[in-house]
Structure 1
Amino acid sequence: MNITQHNSRIWDKKVDDGVKYTNPVSKEKVENAKNGEWSIHVTTDRPVPRDWFPVNLKNVKILCLASGGGQQGPVLAAAGGDVTVVDLSKKQLEQDEMVAERDGLRLNTVQGEMTNLDFLEDESFDMIIHPVANVFIEDVIPLWKEGARVLKKGGTLIAGFTNPVLYLFDDKKEEEGVLDVKYSLPFSATQHLTDAELEECKAKGLALEFGHTLEDQIQGQINAGFAITGFYEDNFGGTRTVDQYFNSFIATKAVKLQP
C-alpha cells in the first residue's frame, strides 16, 4: 500500500464528510484576526500561547506545513502574515482557498509532502506552523531537516505532535472505556496491523498512522539545528478515556540556531 497516496485520498474524503479538522474558520474569526484578536491551535484543545509569536505579524513569512483545512493559515494571513499553506490533500487546500476568497485574504497554497519541500527555497520563511500531522508519515527526521532548511536562522518552528503512549492501546477497547495495552512502541500501522486490519482501514476511510518516539520528535528537532524554547501538553478535551490518565499531544516552540 502506498501510504502517501492512501492518506491523501483519506483526507480528501474527510473534507467531503465534514470532519472537524477540515472545517474552515468562520468569517467572524477572520474579522477578529484582522482586528488583532486571534489564536490558533496546533494540537486538539489548547491554543498556542500568543507570546510564541511576534507582537506584529505584518509581513512575517509563515509556512503552514501540513496545515490545510482553512484553519491556521487564514487566521495568520488575516493577522498580517505572508502565508503559504502546504498540504498533501488538494481538498484541504481548497478550504484555505475558499476562506481566502470569501474574506479577501492573500495566501498561497501548494500541494506537496511535508518531508520533501524541494519546491521551496532555502531560508525563505520566518516561521513554520506545523499542527499534529507527522503522525501520518513513517519517518519524522526528514521533516525536521526540511523545516530547518527552509526556515531563516533565528526563525521559529511551532509544532504539534502525538504522544506515542497513545498508541500502546487497542483503539476499539479504548472507545469502550478499557485501556488494553496491545502494541509496542514506536507504533507503525504497516508493521503492527494485520492485512485484514489494513483492509479495514481502507474500507472505513481511516488514515494510516505512526506513533514516533519522543527522541525522534524532540531530539530530532535539536539534531536538525533547533533549540527547544517552549513546551506544553494537550488532550482530547476530556472526551476520551485516555484523558483521565495522560495527555495525548505535545506542542513545542523551537528556534533555528544553525544556518
Structure 2
Amino acid sequence: MNITEYNKTVWDKYVANKVRWTIPVSKEEIENAGNGNWDIVLTPAKPVPHDWFPDLKGLRILGLASGGGQQGPILAALGAEVTIFDNSENQLNQDRKLSDEFNLNIKTVQGDMKDLSVFADESFDLIFNPCSAVFADNLKPIWQECSRVLKSGGILMTGLINPVIFQLDQETVPFQLIYSQPYSDLDSLPKEKLDELIESQETLEFGHSLTDEIGGQLNAGFLITDFYEDDWNGEKEIDKYLPSFFATRAVKK
C-alpha cells in the first residue's frame, strides 16, 4: 500500500466531511490577527507562545503539512510571506480560498512532507509543522529536509504525539499497555482492526520513539530551545492520566 497516497485520499474526504482539522479560521479571526489579536496551535488545545516567534513582518514561513486554512491565513494576516505545503489538495484549497478572499498572497504547494525538493536550500526563515509526523513512517527525511530548506538560525516549530499513546489500548479502562515501539497501524494492529480502519476510510498512522522525534531533530542539526506538553482539553479519558502531545521549538545551527 502507498501510505502517502492513501492518506491523501482520506484527508481529501475529511475536508468534504468537515472534520475538525479541516475547518478554516473565520473572517473575524483573520481581521483580529491583522489587529494583533491572535493565537495558533501546533497541538489540539494550547496556543503556541507568542515569544516563540520573531517579528513576523516579511518572515518567510513554510507551513509544513499545515493545510486546512487554520494557521497559514493567521500568519499571513500578521505580515508573513506564507507557503503552505500539504499532501491534500482539498486541504490546500481551504488556504487558497481565504488567501483570495482576504488578499493574503499565500502560496500553496502539494506534496509529501518527506520530499521538499521543490524548494531551494535556505528558502525559509521558519517552518510551522502541526501534528503530522504521525502520518509518516520515517521521520529522518522530514528533519533533514527541514534543515536543508531553513536558513542558518531558522526556526522549526513542531507538534508531536507522546509515543506512549500508541502503546496503549485506549478502548477499555483501565488502559492496557499492549503495543511495542515503533508502532504502525499496518504492522501493529490485528488484521481485523486494520481492515476496519481502511474500510471506514480513516487515516493510517505511525507512532515514533522520542529518539526519532527529538533525537532526529538534533541529528539533523537543530538545537531544541523550548518545549511544552498538551492534551485533548478534557475531551478524552486519557487526559486524566497524561498529556498526549508535546511541541518543540528548534533552531538550525
TM superposition score normalised by structure 1: 0.95
**1:51 paired to 2:72:** no
The Cα of 1:171 is off from its aligned counterpart by: 4.0
What's the counterpart of residue 219 of structure 2? 223
Instruction: State the distance in 1 between where 2:2 and 2:197 align.
Output: 13
The Cα of 1:105 is off from its aligned counterpart by: 1.2
Q: How does 1:162-177 map to 2 (within 5 A)?
A: 162-173=161-172, 177=173
RMSD: 1.0
What's the counterpart of residue 195 of structure 1? 191
Q: How does 1:126-145 map to 2 (within 5 A)?
A: 126-145=125-144
One-letter code aligned to 2:23 = N
Q: How does 1:1-259 map to 2 (within 5 A)?
A: 1-54=1-54, 56-173=55-172, 177-257=173-253
Instruction: State the distance in 2 between where 1:185 and 1:95 align.
Output: 35
Q: Which runs of 4+ in 1 moved over 4 A?
A: none
Q: Gaps spanning 5+ residues in structure 2: where?
A: none
Q: Gaps spanning 5+ residues in structure 1: where?
A: none
The Cα of 1:104 is off from its aligned counterpart by: 2.0
Q: Any idea what SS the aligned residue of 1:172 has?
A: coil
The Cα of 1:37 is off from its aligned counterpart by: 1.5
One-letter code aligned to 1:4 = T
- Paired residues in the alignment total 253
> Is the contact between residue 178 and residue 241 of structure 1 (CA under 8 Å) also seen in structure 2?
no
Instruction: State the distance in 2 between where 1:200 and 1:229 align.
Output: 41
1:68-125 per-residue CA deviation (whole Å, 9 max, x = no partner) reads 0000101000000000000000100001111112222111000001100010110010
The Cα of 1:172 is off from its aligned counterpart by: 3.0
One-letter code aligned to 2:176 = D
Q: Any idea what SS the aligned residue of 1:160 has?
A: strand
One-letter code aligned to 1:187 = Y
Instruction: State the distance in 2 between where 1:186 and 1:106 align.
Output: 40
1:152-181 per-residue CA deviation (whole Å, 9 max, x = no partner) reads 0001000001001111122433xxx44122
1:115-158 per-residue CA deviation (whole Å, 9 max, x = no partner) reads 00010110010000000000001001110000000000001000
Instruction: State the distance in 2 between where 1:82 and 1:104 align.
Output: 12
Stretch moving more, 141-150 or 36-45: 36-45
What percentage of residue pairs aligned between the two structures are identical? 49
The Cα of 1:200 is off from its aligned counterpart by: 1.0
Instruction: State the distance in 1 between where 2:65 and 2:42 align.
Output: 11
